[in-house]
Amino acid sequence: MKPKNIVVLMGGISPEREVSLRSGSAVAKALTEAGFNVSCIDVKDEKIEELEHMEIDVAFIALHGYFGEDGGVQELLESKGILYTGSGINASKLAMDKLATKKRFISAGLTTPSYITVTEFQEFVEIEQEVNKLGLPVVLKPTRNGSSIGISIIKDIKNLKTGLEKAFEFGYELLIEKYIKGRELTVGILDDKALPIIEIKPAVEFYNYDAKYKDNRTEYLIVKPNSERNANDLLNNIEFLPLSAYNEAQELALNAHKVLGCRGFSRVDMLMDNAGKFYLLEVNTIPGFTEKSLLPKAAKAAGISFPLLCKKITEIAFHNSLVSTDASIQN
């Protein structure tokens, strides 16, 4: 038994709406090419009443941010008995909350940058004192936003107030992390297996929203173990890691995926400092599916085309539900 009728949920009501529309359009095209009957819904509220009148085998969630990655749409779909792609309600909520994610990493013994949290209800002088204790430079992040929205690096304490004002536009609570200088790496996870590593080389100081979606100078390079180096790699912009480090990064990513309870697929972001130490940043339960997106690039490096990737994600969701149903019947 295989899924046939797929609805792609896209758009949404978060600041990442435009990115989601692009992701959803790409997914719909890929699934059509893969042979599915595909319908699309441009989500504009939290009810999605269009679902009531459709025959759906699987909902492919291409929503980012609020009511996409935070468990909200997952809860709605479960209440309607509709199968969906990606992680469940609890894992989605956990991964969307950067602070809760860090706490889970730490409790599991996984390395992540040192941090503090602050809220907009605190006096500026108090926040300033806490930041000085943590030590500059630091990275300011809203705890519940994606696509690097509202993030800034503070190197001079004089710029702290401006950075706080920018970040507080996207939530009352902020995560302030110790800045780690090093290589930006991302590892895609598909069906509980780590995909090839991608290194991100933005032309600007860090991988912000513009670097992700607007700046054509950002480079995305496949990373290979040193042991697999060959003469053609110099022509193909391949980066390298020692085999032990490569394996460590993939294992760390898979552990992060599992620790948060994710399923199906995800993308794990991390840093590798100049001493070769890895630091987990976050797990994206619904990474982008645009032409610049990293999970499709990693899948392609593993020999998985974009239509096949979307097909696999859909079938994983459908198969997992059948397994769960069989288990409940047996019990």
Residues involved in catalysis: 16, 147, 213, 267, 269, 282, 284, 288
Q: In whole angstroms, what is the distance from residue 55 CA to residue 5 CA?
A: 7
Angle at 324 between CA 321 and CA 325, to 5 degrees: 85
β-pair partners for 270: 185, 280
Q: In whole angstroms, what is the distance from residue 111 CA to residue 91 CA?
A: 19
Q: Cβ–Cβ contacts within 10 Å for residue 5, how many?
A: 13
Q: Cβ–Cβ contacts within 10 Å for residue 33, how many?
A: 15
Contacts of 44 (CB under 8 A, 6+ apart): 11, 13
- Tokens read off for 121: 């209800």
Within 13 A of 326's CA, how many CA atoms are on the CB side?
6
